[in-house]
Structure 1
Amino acid sequence: MTSINWIVLVYKIPSEPTKYRATVWREIKRLGGIYLQNSVCIFPDIDDVALNVSSLANQIRNMGGTEYLFFTTSPTQAQATELVSQFQSSRTEEYQALLLEIDELEQQSEEGAQLANISGLNDEFRRLKKQVALVKARDYFAAPLGTAIATRLQKIGTQILRMSKGT
């Protein structure tokens, strides 16, 4: 594994209103960061992550909080490997949360649906595809389950398309 650049966000926000904490937590999750400890998050310094984390830092200041951004590299290969593993594990948890819904949709598409229900299957397929795309956008280190889910969704989409054409 080559050297990886990281962005570390350390922040403190007022305890009230509590919506500030929830907003920051949701944004960190959306950006794919992981918590090293309370109020200390790490992100890989790739693509436009730095821009997005800087925007989050501005939001924290606007909430009356304080923040510090540090740009660094892992001091050892073992630390880099451990961090990548944590990122992959976090994304795998998100993919697993979608698996039950994907399993259900796959079962419905394999059983064949009435013509009236194909539209509903297609809507659910598009919703799940969008959810998977959101996770994939923050899957910076390609968690293995992401590829498997993408393959399954493609298969399901093909099956729904065949059903809609009556073949």
Structure 2
Amino acid sequence: MSAFKVPPEPAKKRVALWRRLKGMGGIYLQNGVCLLPKTDDHARRLKILENEATRMGGDAVLLETVALDRAQETKVIGRFKADRDEQYREFLLRCDDFDAEIARETAAAHFTYAELEENDVDLKKLRLWLEKIRKLDFYEADLAAVAQQRLAGCTALLDAYAQRVYDAQDENR
């Protein structure tokens, strides 16, 4: 657990600290109080953030905590899972956008290498994004498997589109 108290101004620095903690997968119990699973990486990064908070004229307290009982532990794990599921839902919406883009290109018969390359870049972005989410999914959120399957579906869709591009380009020669 980490508790940070930093001056309200400049807000940019306070927000940057908040974003870094969220970027590590932290959940906030209340303003300035963040929980993260104990790992060597988290401990190292929290010490760096503690030093930054001190340089900003603030303070940080880093603690190792244990839930009072199983119900409290379940509640905290549920919060971690809910945060990841929110990210997975955003990811799934982007997969919908990817599918719609391939459908538009197919309907318009845009079977060009330029379109294929553009869609390949989009798929790579989806892959990287899912990797980032999974890295922060400490407790296997409910939508993790759905997101992985959805990425596989996007990959298969792009493979089928690629075949149509190859076929169309071959016909043009």
Task: Find 2:7's aligned residue among 4, 9, 14.
Answer: 14
2:128 paired residue number: 130
Q: Is the 8 A contact 2:2 2:62 kept in 1?
A: yes
Going by fraction, where is helix more abundant, 1 or 2?
A: 2
Q: CA RMSD in A?
A: 1.8
Large movers: runs of 4+ above 4 Å = none
Aligned residues between the structures: 160
Please list, as runs of the form range in 1=range in 2, the aligned pairs for 1:106-117 lying within 5 A after superposition. 106-109=99-102, 112=106, 114-115=111-112, 116-117=114-115
Q: Is the 8 A contact 2:84 2:137 kept in 1?
A: yes
Question: Which sections of structure 2, spanning at least 5 residues, go unmatched?
Answer: 168-173
Whole-angstrom CA distance in 2 between matches of 1:47 and 1:16? 31
Q: What is the SS of the residue equivalent to 2:143?
A: helix
Please list, as runs of the form range in 1=range in 2, the aligned pairs for 1:1-167 lying within 5 A after superposition. 8-46=1-39, 48-109=41-102, 112=106, 114-115=111-112, 116-165=114-163, 166=166
Q: What is the SS of the residue equivalent to 1:72?
A: coil
Whole-angstrom CA distance in 2 between matches of 1:47 and 1:137? 15
Provide Cα deviations, 1:76-134, integer angstroms capped at 9, x if missing partner. 01100000001000111111122221112123346645223111111111112112211
Whole-angstrom CA distance in 1 between matches of 2:47 and 2:67? 20
TM-score, normalization by structure 2 = 0.84
